[in-house]
C-alpha cells in the first residue's frame, strides 16, 4: 500500500508528521510531493524532505492521498499538477484525507459539491461556497473523503483513515 502527501513550505507540522509516521508505522510507503523535490519547512520549524515534485507523482501508484493543513495549501492549490493529482485520486474513489486548511486543495479541485465535510473554521464559508455540507465535528467521513478540523483532531483523523483503508483492502 502506498500514500501520497501534498505539501509545501508552511505546512502545519503536526498535521503532516503525525499521519506520516502513523502510516509508516502500519507499513504503508509514503511519498511527500511538493512544488519541487527539496526540503520544505513547516510553520513551527520542522523540515521534511519532499522526495518528489508534484509533476513527478503518478496517481496510479497511490492508494491514499493526504492533504495536511497550515499555510501550505495556499501554495498547493495554485499548482495545476497538484490539483490534477487531487482530482484523479478523488475521482478514482481512492481515500482522500484532508485536515484543517487541506480542504482548500479539494475546493480548488472542484470535488466538494454535495459532499459532507469539515475543515478549519476560517475556511468553512469557502467549503460551503464550493457546495459542501459543512459540519463542525472532529472527523467526517463521506465515502472516500475523510476530513478533520485541526491538530487536536489528529487521533480521530488517523483512526478513520485506517478504518477506510481497511474497508478498501
Q: Where are the beta strands (DSSP E) in the chain?
A: 2-6, 29-34, 39-41, 47-49, 52-53, 64-67, 96-99, 116-117, 133-134, 139-142, 145-148
Per the CB < 8 A criterion, the answer to whether 141 and 97 are in contact is: no
Q: How far apart are CA 161 and CA 145, in angstroms?
A: 9
Q: How far apart are the first and last CA of the chain?
A: 9
Q: Which residue out of 94, 101, 115, 149 is catalytically annotated?
A: 101
Q: How distant, in Å, are the alpha carbons of 57, 76, 123 from that of 130?
A: 26, 17, 11
44 counts as catalytic: no
162 HSE (CA, 13 A, CB side): 15
The residues assigned a catalytic role are 101
Amino acid at each position: 500500500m502506498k500514500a501520497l502527501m501534498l505539501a509545501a513550505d508552511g505546512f502545519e507540522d503536526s498535521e503532516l508528521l503525525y499521519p506520516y509516521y502513523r502510516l509508516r508505522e502500519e507499513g504503508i510507503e509514503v511519498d511527500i510531493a511538493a512544488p519541487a523535490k527539496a526540503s520544505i519547512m513547516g510553520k513551527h520549524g520542522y523540515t521534511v524532505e519532499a522526495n518528489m515534485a508534484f509533476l513527478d507523482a503518478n496517481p496510479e501508484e497511490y492508494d491514499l492521498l493526504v492533504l495536511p493543513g497550515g499555510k501550505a495549501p495556499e501554495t498547493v492549490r495554485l499548482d495545476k499538477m497538484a490539483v490534477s493529482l487531487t482530482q484523479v485520486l478523488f475521482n478514482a474513489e481512492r481515500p482522500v484525507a484532508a485536515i484543517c486548511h487541506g480542504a482548500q486543495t479539494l475546493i480548488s479541485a472542484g470535488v466538494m459539491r454535495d459532499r459532507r465535510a469539515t475543515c478549519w473554521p476560517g475556511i468553512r464559508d469557502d467549503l460551503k461556497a464550493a457546495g459542501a455540507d459543512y459540519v463542525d465535528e472532529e472527523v467526517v467521513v463521506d465515502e472516500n473523503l475523510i476530513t478533520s478540523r485541526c491538530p487536536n483532531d489528529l487521533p480521530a483523523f488517523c483512526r478513520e483513515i485506517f478504518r477506510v483503508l481497511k474497508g478498501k483492502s
